[in-house]
Structure 1
Amino acid sequence: MELIYKEEDLELVAKKVLKELKSNVVLFYAPMGAGKTTLIKALVKQLGGTDSGSSPTFGIVNEYHDKQGKQLAYHFDFYRLNDEMEALDLGLEDYLSQPGFVFIEWPEKIPTLISSDYQKLKIEILDFHTRKLHLA
């Protein structure tokens, strides 16, 4: 699936992405500032998340729940990771076996830790306001 969108289209984009997902593990590939976290917030909102969400860059992982407290998603940002052992130390393998979605930014930092059951989502910056999304 490919989509060209602007930030004001994110609600519709998130709905379309969720319909197309065939895995609960989604790897986000995009340059800094492309809108990975913003898209993840929109996905969580569409899933019924009550958390406003923020980039977990400093905490590495955020958890999102619905109104009843049910776990919806985990959001990892591995930008500041120095090596794969850090991801193992924080329990990545346990998170991957939990119900709900696992959204991972900067998965290139943990290439040997991701199973084969995932989908890649790439965001390309076309201009200041426009992005191109490719879901494979």
Structure 2
Amino acid sequence: MNINFTLEEIQNVAKQILETPLLKKVITFHAEMGVGKTTLIKALVNELGVQSNSSSPTFSLVNEYETKNGEIVYHFDLYRLNSEVEAYDMGIDEYFYSGNWCFIEWPEKTPNLIPIDHAAIYLKLNNDKSRTLVLKN
């Protein structure tokens, strides 16, 4: 899936992503700082029916949300992670293999811990401030 969009269209983009047939529940997000990974994840969390405000788990590494249907959503921001050992010690693999939604920013910090069977979203900021999204499921 390839989509060009503006930030005003991000909720519709989140809906399109979640309507992807057989979408994997572990999704990695790849983009430079400031391109909109967290903003897109907030839209996805909202589209899944999470009632509470979502925010980046920059300092806690993971935030947990519950949808109105009782599904669990984990949002990881691994930017401040020092090593894969640190991630493993916090039990990150248990989250990844829980069967729950896992949205992972900065997955390159834990390349050996990301499940092989995952989806990946690549975001790029364009000159006109729009974004290009590529989903590999």
> TM-score higher than 0.5 here?
yes
CA distance in 2, matches of 1:123, 1:26: 13
Query: Secondary structure at 2:58's aligned position in 1?
Result: coil
- What 5-or-longer segments of structure 1 have no aligned partner? none
Give the alignment's Cα RMSD to 1 decimal. 1.3
Deviates more, 1:17-26 or 1:100-109: 17-26
CA offset digits 1:71-110 (Å, max 9, x no partner): 3310000001111011111111111122321000000010
CA distance in 2, matches of 1:17, 1:117: 17
Q: After TM superposition, which residue ranges in structure 1, 4 or more long, deviate above 3 angstroms?
A: none
Q: Does 1:102 align with 2:102?
A: yes
Query: Secondary structure at 2:19's aligned position in 1?
Result: helix
What letter is aligned with 1:103?
F
CA distance in 2, matches of 1:128, 1:40: 22
What letter is aligned with 2:35?
A
Contact 1:49 1:72 in 2 (8 A): no
Query: 2:25 is matched with which residue?
Result: 24
CA distance in 1, matches of 2:62, 2:4: 28
Query: 2:55 is matched with which residue?
Result: 54
Q: TM-score, normalised by structure 2?
A: 0.93
Equivalent residues in 2 for 1:73-84 (5 A)? 73-84=73-84
What letter is aligned with 2:2?
E
CA offset digits 1:107-130 (Å, max 9, x no partner): 001011112110110000103631
Query: 2:120 is matched with which residue?
Result: 120
Q: What is the aligned length? A: 135
Contact 2:31 2:123 in 1 (8 A): yes
CA distance in 2, matches of 1:127, 1:95: 37
What letter is aligned with 2:94?
D
Identity of aligned residues (%): 46
Contact 2:67 2:73 in 1 (8 A): no
CA distance in 1, matches of 2:135, 2:110: 20
Query: 2:72 is matched with which residue?
Result: 72
Q: TM-score, normalised by structure 1?
A: 0.93
Query: 1:4 is matched with which residue?
Result: 4
